[in-house]
Amino acid sequence: MTREFTVVGVVGLGTMGAGIAEVLARSGVRVVAVEVDPAGIERGRGHVEYSTGRAVAKGKLAEDARARLLDLITYSTALTDLADADLVIEAIPESLDLKAGLFAELDRIVRPEVVLASNTSSLSITQISVHAGRPGKVVGLHFFNPAPVQRLTEVVRTVVTEPDVVTDVVDFARRLGKEPVVIGDRAGFIANALLFGYLNHAVAMYESRYATREDLDAAMRFGCGYPMGPLALLDLIGLDTAFEILETMYAQSRNRLHAPTPILKQMITAGLLGRKSGRGFYTYE
């Protein structure tokens, strides 16, 4: 029997988690959105309100549809409020320890048949799943930034993910208007494994002063038709997130392409994280 996923939990309301909550509510799904503290909740709520407010201002979303969408999201600081969820999507920071602890806790809270999904970009779904007590019901469900815009979702199956769990999650991703692809559990999956070698190479060109940031970005936008140049895209992703993804992929692949360019770490240490901190390769209002 196909799972319906009527109530979906989202844990972690950073850029990705808030975007995922919006995607779900846009498709009429009830969402229980969980953050660790009230400040996290307000940040997440702010993301969703800003993004949907912009859609209304552009005439892409009616005011009453926006109100219905916002009503579908309940915010909480208690994981126990996920007890009625049919699916939980985790979007907390990229730390295996944090995710392992969360999955162990979720396993105690939700019903045994409930599917647990991770939005991790590069950590091993298998390693996360063994902490869940139900590894057969754990998948990767990886969205792209901005989640309401990018159509791809990578559905990651481990060697023990039950086939019907994969089928149900793929159907659900389609219901959300996404284009799912199904892959095995390898660092970076498809898109990041290909994308981050390119982004890292652009940072190396910038670091060696081979080209200016503007010219690097212009080359890829106007020469290759990319919607954004690599350095602008890194600012959107967040330099800290990009660094973590590169490090994890490099640890697994030992592919030089994924060895983080040193200036990335220096910029992160100096607080230049990209758009979210107001400055990265570029400066933002």
The set of catalytic residues is 121, 142, 154, 192
Q: What Cα–Cα distance (Å) separates residue 280 from each residue in 19, 210, 244, 245?
A: 21, 19, 16, 17
Q: Which of residues 218-237 bind ligand CAA (CB under 6 A)?
A: 227-228, 233, 237
Residue of the chain from 126, 129, 161, 192 that contacts ligand CAA (CB under 6 A): 192
Nearer to ligand CAA, 86 or 240 (CB): 240
Contacts with ligand CAA: how many residues (CB under 6 A)? 19
271 in the Ramachandran plot: left (φ > 0), alpha (ψ -120 to 50) or beta? left
Residue of the chain from 153, 241, 248, 261 that contacts ligand CAA (CB under 6 A): 241
Q: What is the DSSP letter of 278?
A: T
Helix (H) or strand (E) holding 87: strand 87-90
At position 145, the amino acid (one-letter code) is N
**In the complex, minimum distance from the CB of residue 256 to ligand CAA, in angstroms, rounded to a whole number:** 21
Maximum distance among all alpha carbons in the chain? Answer: 58
Residue of the chain from 2, 37, 57, 58 that contacts ligand CAA (CB under 6 A): 58
| Binding mask of the shown chain, residues 119 to 158, with x at each position contacting ligand CAA by CB under 6 A | --x----------------------xxx-xxx--------
CA–CA separation, 79 and 132 (whole Å)? 15
Residue 68: name the closest of 33, 26, 32 by CA.
Answer: 26
Rule CB under 6 A: say whether 68 interacts with ligand CAA: no
Bond into 146 cis (ω within 30)? yes
Cross-strand pairs, 11:
34, 90
Nearer to ligand CAA, 135 or 274 (CB): 274
**In the complex, minimum distance from the CB of residue 121 to ligand CAA, in angstroms, rounded to a whole number:** 3
CA–CA separation, 203 and 199 (whole Å)? 6
Pair type for strands 138-143 and 152-156: antiparallel
Q: Is residue 144 within 8 Å of 150, Cβ to Cβ?
A: yes
Nearer to ligand CAA, 59 or 112 (CB): 59
Q: Which of residues 162-191 bind ligand CAA (CB under 6 A)?
A: none
Rule CB under 6 A: say whether 60 interacts with ligand CAA: yes
**In the complex, minimum distance from the CB of residue 231 to ligand CAA, in angstroms, rounded to a whole number:** 12
**In the complex, minimum distance from the CB of residue 276 to ligand CAA, in angstroms, rounded to a whole number:** 11
| Positions in the binding site for ligand CAA (CB under 6 A) | 51, 54-55, 58, 60, 121, 144-146, 148-150, 192, 195, 227-228, 233, 237, 241
